[in-house]
Amino acid sequence: MLDGPFDVQGSELWRRGAVMAQSRGSMLVARMLAPVAGERVLDLCAAPGAKTTHLAALMEDRGEVVAVERHPGRAAALADTCRRMRASSVRVVVADAAALRLEGRFDRVLLDPPCSGLGTLQSRPDRRWRASPEGIGELAVLQARLLEVAAAHTRPGGVLVYSVCTISRREGERLIDRFLAARSDWHAEDLGALHPQWGSGSNLQLLPDRDGTDGFFIARLRRGG
């Protein structure tokens, strides 16, 4: 616990790669994927890299994390973050995740796609003026496409975690329900089995006023073997 304000990014701990600033909701995403050492993991839409390096840490930096980012500048910053955090198991790939075709499949896949960000209004209040029903609809189409790509890269028996930092059901619960209704080879897993403190259920919607963190939606899916 800190006694007062702390400049994380200006600290020596930051420069040494000893700390990474994350909200409780963001940290929970990687822990819901729960990768283990030696696995092959895919992180789609990976920049800026907090979740990517968290995955590598959970894997004790053993195995492979393929981090995909389509914007070259953001991908370069992601690679810098991985070097600072000494996450040598991470390989950054500059590519459009919506049209991704990688060789082989992955034990675990994390998809944290672009979203309306309506769960982060306490730190980004301007987003309330930029969101619209039409914009959310367009994002939901993109998110569904990215979810299909993530599913295609998950091995039989593998795990896929979908997360968005929003409270919009169109980008969360409804999107996952449509995916599962169309895919008999996939099922949702009980998140409470991993983290009982968040209750039981096939997905989790965090709310800032109730949970004291950003408004994240998280679903953990498993592909049939």
165 is catalytic: yes
Catalytic residue among 45, 82, 115, 165: 165
Under 8 Å between Cβ of 151 and 223: yes
Beta-carbon contacts of 100 under 8 Å, excluding residues fewer than 6 positions away, are 44, 68, 149, 153
3-class secondary structure per residue, the chain: CCCCCCCCCCCHHHHCCCCCCCCHHHHHHHHHHCCCCCCEEEEECCCCCHHHHHHHHHCCCCCEEEEEECCHHHHHHHHHHHHHCCCCCEEEEECCHHHCCCCCCEEEEEECCCCCCCCCCCCCCCHHHHCCHHHHHHHHHHHHHHHHHHHHCEEEEEEEEEEECCCCCCCCHHHHHHHHHHCCCEEECCHHHCCHHHCCCCEEECCHHHHCCCCCEEEEEEECC
Q: Which residues are catalytic?
A: 165
